[in-house]
Structure 1
């Protein structure tokens, strides 16, 4: 058992670099996908409901009436299901600024990922990459408060389920909650980069 413990102890720095590589892969992949319309459409509920980000859109706060005659947020009527494109929804998203914002956000996310990866060789750069990862994660986790879609909705029906609203996370909510791991990873890599930077003084 002692040999196993010593082995893991000896690989600690390598494992921290593995965290950097993992964060880079997530950032580069997800950030890169922001250039595609389906991903841009998918982040609209998060961005439009966020007090930190909704000013990037043009249709924030607009209301509309759905097929049931109920007043709803306008964006809910313009969701393109993944794998399907509806032109009237595309037109709405273009007017909203959905695609331009998503492309810019993707560039920011990819850049953070690169800074994190460079931390393997350049600790000062990696320190900022770690801090930016923490900041991005805090904003993402705030969606658990601001975005209705992160919780299972009450759809009613003949046999309504009691499992809706907080704390019953939807698929979107479960993805958001995982960012708490990114938050912790960002703190670990930032602190390790700070330690290496201080050793050079």
Structure 2
């Protein structure tokens, strides 16, 4: 058993670099998908309800009546289900600025991922990549507070123990919660880069 402990201790640096590669893959893949309309549509509830981002959209938070006559945020009426394209929804998202914002966000995410990866060879660059990853994760995790869609909605039913609202995460909520791993990964990456920078100076 001691041999296994020593092995893991000796390759700690390799595992940290593996984490950087993992962050890079996640960032570039998800960032690249931001160019796809379905992904741009999918992030609208997060952006529209965020006090940090909602100003990027033109009219997604405007209240309007749905088919049942209830007042709802306008974006809820124009969501394309994944795998389906409805032209009137595409037109609305175009005027809302959905795609323009998504392209820019995708570029930022890919750039951060590249900075993290470069930390393998360039600690100063990697340090800022880790810090930015941490910051991005903080913003993403704030959606757990600002976005209603991250919790299971109350659709009625006869269950004596309703399972909606906090802490019952929806699919979107479970996706957001995973960013706590990115938060930790960013901090580990930044601190390891800072350690290398410090050792070089001393």
| TM-score normalised by L of structure 1 | 0.98
1:75-94 equivalence runs, <5 A: 75-94=75-94
Q: Secondary structure in 2 aligned to 1:200?
A: helix
Q: Secondary structure in 1 aligned to 2:72?
A: strand
* Unmatched tracts of structure 1, length 5 or more: none
Q: Secondary structure in 2 aligned to 1:64?
A: strand
* Unmatched tracts of structure 2, length 5 or more: none
Question: Residue 191 of structure 2 corresponds to which residue in structure 1?
Answer: 191
Structure 2 residue 73 is the aligned partner of structure 1 residue 73: yes
Moved runs in structure 1, 4+ residues, more than 3 A? 157-161
Question: Residue 130 of structure 1 corresponds to which residue in structure 2?
Answer: 130
* 1:123-180 CA-partner distances (Å, limit 9, x unpaired): 0000000000000000000000000000000011455860000000000000000000
Question: Residue 53 of structure 1 corresponds to which residue in structure 2?
Answer: 53
**CA–CA distance in 2 between the matches of 1:61 and 1:99?**
16
| TM-score normalised by L of structure 2 | 0.97
**CA–CA distance in 2 between the matches of 1:109 and 1:164?**
32
Question: Residue 150 of structure 1 corresponds to which residue in structure 2?
Answer: 150
The 3 A distance-change label for structure 1 pair 160 and 150 is: farther
What's the CA shift for 1:61?
Answer: 2.6
**CA–CA distance in 1 between the matches of 2:160 and 2:94?**
37
**CA–CA distance in 1 between the matches of 2:98 and 2:199?**
45
What's the CA shift for 1:198?
Answer: 1.1
Aligned-residue CA RMSD (Å): 1.0
**CA–CA distance in 2 between the matches of 1:158 and 1:9?**
54
